[in-house]
Structure 1
Amino acid sequence: MGVVAALWRYPVKSMAGERLTEVAVGERGLDGDRLYAIHDADGKFGSGKNSRRFRRMPGLHAFAARYDGDVPVVTLPDGREVRGGTASGEIAAALGLPGVEMAKEADVPHHDEAPLHLVTTSSLAWLAERAPGVALDERRFRANVLLDTGPAPELVEDAWVGQRIRLGEVELEVLRKAVRCVMVGLPADGLPAAPGLLKTISDANDLTFGVQTRVVRGGTLRLGDVHEVGCSPAHSP
């Protein structure tokens, strides 16, 4: 048992996001999460890494995004705000990447691995012991949900892979442990750089921290919702 301690939504992939008190959750995850991304001319999405779908765009982590209604509002590194369809040119100029634009998700999903990412307070405490002096909270890992698991065992969520968990009205299937990338050590959202953190995670837990989940049953997710772990594998009736 535990409770939802923080909810985070990221309107634009790889930018800092906004903290919420409640949010609708559906098959795609938190309503509006990673609904926008910065696209290059080849259709790749701005990220902290290079892959078939993603292009590493240094500096993107220094931007932040929130919604005003259903319109994304982006805060540039210099503090200026730009809105919706007018944002692409200013973002391209600030990144020094002519031609990139902010676009809404179409056929290819913007999420890295799964619709909803979750970490626990017990795992953050475990990592803090191994990374003394590093400012640690869920923002480094761009988690959607932070669960306060109290005195639970370290890395408790790793044991949930293959199970279903309930968060108030919402039911999730835990698919896999989350593989981390260089973004965990970048300065962002008021947190200083932590250049050795990725290696610490690699050495201590095979480059994984937190879990990736899919939504089995949607609903409204709220701060303080009680969480329960299912007793049977996710494929069981």
Structure 2
Amino acid sequence: MAEIIGVIERLWRYPVKSTGGERLDSVEVDERGLAGDRLYAVRDADGKLGSGKNTRRFRRMDGLLRLSARLGHRIDGPELFDPLGRPVTDPAAFLRAYLQREDVELAREDAVSHFDQLPVSVLTTATLDWVREAAPFTVVDERRFRPNILLRTPPGTPPFVEDDWFGREGHGGTGARLAFVRSSERCAMTGAPQPGLPHAPEILKAIVHAHDGRLDALAEVAAPGRLSVGDELALH
């Protein structure tokens, strides 16, 4: 029997990895994830992707989170916006000046995935409300955690309820099915400053103390479909 776990309150797509995203009313979901999500990234001459951390695939490039991107209905690439929300006419030239690196460009995904982990992140309002209580002296909203789906859960739902979904499928919208696998391991980006959100390292400290630094539910796409704000999500 299906168990309705919540209603989609907001949908987010991040056309350029590690920059701010765009809110959507509805979106197609394919095998890769939400259509256009993290399809582009800032890439350097070594092939590493701009991120908030240094790893084998990623290079830390401070300041990306102050930018934002929108894909909309464009087919020739995303529109990039500066920290004041103004559109950028020449993304490559702007990024080189902004990051003070001459070797960066805005690149479409090819052989190297732009995703940190799995393609779809779902966060509940129950967990987000817990973060607000745990860090009462800063501004908290879902942009801190970059989910694709913010799910409105019923009153009384406990925080970190997402843990109960692992190994099950969520069905929603028109045919879309998400196979929940695990939660994200959070890093300093949760407290990094971005437009409207000041630096807040206490957020990560609270999550590490209470939940081993993990927060949300990561999923693979089990079946393509379409998701819209207001759709119910049910576990099977």
1:176 aligns with 2:169: no
Match of 2:143 among 139, 162, 169: 139
In the alignment, is the contact (CA less than 8 A) between 2:131 and 2:203 conserved in 1? no
| Paired letter, 1:225 | D
Partner of residue 233, structure 1: none
Match of 1:199 among 195, 198, 205: 205
For the residue of structure 2 that corresponds to 1:82, the secondary structure is coil
Aligned counterparts of 1:11 and 1:23: Cα–Cα separation in 2: 13
Aligned counterparts of 1:81 and 1:98: Cα–Cα separation in 2: 21
Partner of residue 124, structure 1: 128
Aligned-pair CA distance for 1:79: 4.2
Per-residue CA distance 1:67-92 (angstroms, 9 max, x = gap):
25223110122544225xx3112111
5+ residue gaps, structure 1: 231-237
Per-residue CA distance 1:146-169 (angstroms, 9 max, x = gap):
000122222111111111111222
TM-score by length of 2: 0.93
Per-residue CA distance 1:133-157 (angstroms, 9 max, x = gap):
2222211101000000122222111
For the residue of structure 2 that corresponds to 1:184, the secondary structure is helix
The count of residues paired between Structure 1 and Structure 2 equals: 228
Q: CA RMSD in A?
A: 1.2
| Paired letter, 2:235 | V
**Correspondences of 1:1-237 after superposition (within 5 Å):** 1=4, 2-68=6-72, 69-70=74-75, 71-83=77-89, 86-151=90-155, 152-169=157-174, 170-230=176-236
Aligned counterparts of 2:171 and 2:212: Cα–Cα separation in 1: 27
In the alignment, is the contact (CA less than 8 A) between 1:76 and 1:94 conserved in 2? no
For the residue of structure 1 that corresponds to 2:177, the secondary structure is strand
Aligned counterparts of 1:115 and 1:67: Cα–Cα separation in 2: 17
Per-residue CA distance 1:13-65 (angstroms, 9 max, x = gap):
00001000001110111110000000011101000111111111011111110
In the alignment, is the contact (CA less than 8 A) between 1:36 and 1:103 conserved in 2? yes
172-181 or 151-160: bigger deviation = 151-160
Per-residue CA distance 1:195-230 (angstroms, 9 max, x = gap):
221111111110101011110011111000001112
Could you list the structure 1 runs, at least 4 aligned residues long, displaced by more than 4 angstroms after superposition.
none
5+ residue gaps, structure 2: none
Aligned counterparts of 2:115 and 2:16: Cα–Cα separation in 1: 11
For the residue of structure 2 that corresponds to 1:41, the secondary structure is coil
In the alignment, is the contact (CA less than 8 A) between 1:139 and 1:189 conserved in 2? no
| Paired letter, 1:209 | L
Percent identity of paired positions between Structure 1 and Structure 2: 47
Aligned counterparts of 2:94 and 2:132: Cα–Cα separation in 1: 37
44-53 or 124-133: bigger deviation = 124-133
Aligned counterparts of 1:79 and 1:162: Cα–Cα separation in 2: 40
